[in-house]
Amino acid sequence: MSATSPVRPVLPPDIRARKGGVPLVVLTAYSTPVARLVDAHCDVVLVGDSVGMVIHGLPSTLGVTMEMMILHGRAVVRGAAKAMPVIDMPFGSYEESPEQAFRNASRLMAETGAPSVKLEGGVHMAETIAFLTARGVPVMAHVGLTPQAVNTLGGYKVVGRDAEAAKVMADAKAVEAAGAFSVVLEKVPMGLAGNITKALTIPTIGIGAGKDCDGQVLVVDDMLGLFTDFRPKFVKRYAELGKTADDAIAAYAAEVRSGTFPAEEHSFPDALPPSKAVKS
């Protein structure tokens, strides 16, 4: 490909074809500038419903609306030239029926330009996934810990230990059979995640599911260290931008209060110097 050739965007068949190959790299993004940063290095940029907690300060993802996902989805699609945008379907937008799910999934895709959606649930959502994929909506599935079901699960706990392992395996196989092109495994024991990865022909994308998945996803704000008080076990901090930002804001505040900012170089003179004056 020449330097002037357009970049071909990643699409769902490309992700599915990566099964067992070079691990897939996935990060969330909720804005155009962050999407551009993610796009340069990742295969998928996920517009997660985590936006409700990360950006809007909600206590969980349950309060996220379609309008919020469309707003942030549009922003991310503008910044993603290569990496494939995937948009989460918010709680209450797909559980009622396959028809409801199609109306909202098609709206997300039409109003944002994203080529795929993600929804949570295994066996009980297989009929919906099949309905969507049969009608041209590529679906990334999500099993294990499903944050939208946090009240039913009893918290953000590991899912799939002991007797639960068979259920998570069944959920993963069900979404594959229904036509999902990939599946997120969240907070699943690493041995089980490895077994699921071997059992499926579609890629698994882990978050707190160990190294044997076909790819990994993290919330970008977590891995950049923007939240100094939030450190889940499965997140590795690749930077401490929260501390850097705090130091910078403190320095700005101190300079404003002391009168050292703005300095002369940050201000505009009353008149242009002679060399810059406009000639008549």
**Residue positions in the annotated binding site for Mg(2+)?**
49, 88, 120
Is residue 140 within 8 Å of residue 183, measured between CB atoms? yes
Q: Distance between the two ends of the chain, CA-based, in angstroms?
A: 52
183: helix, coil or strand?
Answer: strand
Binding residues: 49-50, 88, 118, 120
Beta carbons within 10 angstroms of residue 132's beta carbon = 25
Give me the count of residues in the chain. Answer: 280
For the chain, the farthest-separated pair of C-alpha atoms sits apart, in whole angstroms, at 87
Is residue 75 within 8 Å of residue 31, measured between CB atoms? yes
Closest CA to 183 of 118, 127, 132: 118
33: helix, coil or strand?
Answer: helix
Known catalytic residue at 164? no
Binding residues for 3-methyl-2-oxobutanoate: 49-50, 88, 118
Spatial CB neighbours of 45, under 8 Å, sequence gap ≥ 6: 26, 27, 28, 29, 35, 38, 39, 76, 79, 80, 83, 84, 85, 86
Q: Strands 139-144, 116-120: parallel, antiparallel or unpaired by DSSP?
A: parallel
What is the radius of gyration, based on Cα positions, of the chain? 22
Q: Which of 111, 127, 164, 186 is catalytic?
A: 186
262 phi and psi angles, rounded to 5 deg: -85, 145
Helix (H) and strand (E) counts in the chain: 11, 8
Question: Cα 182 to chain center, whole Å?
Answer: 14
Query: At which residue do the structure tokens 């002037």 appear?
Result: 4
Residues with catalytic roles? 186
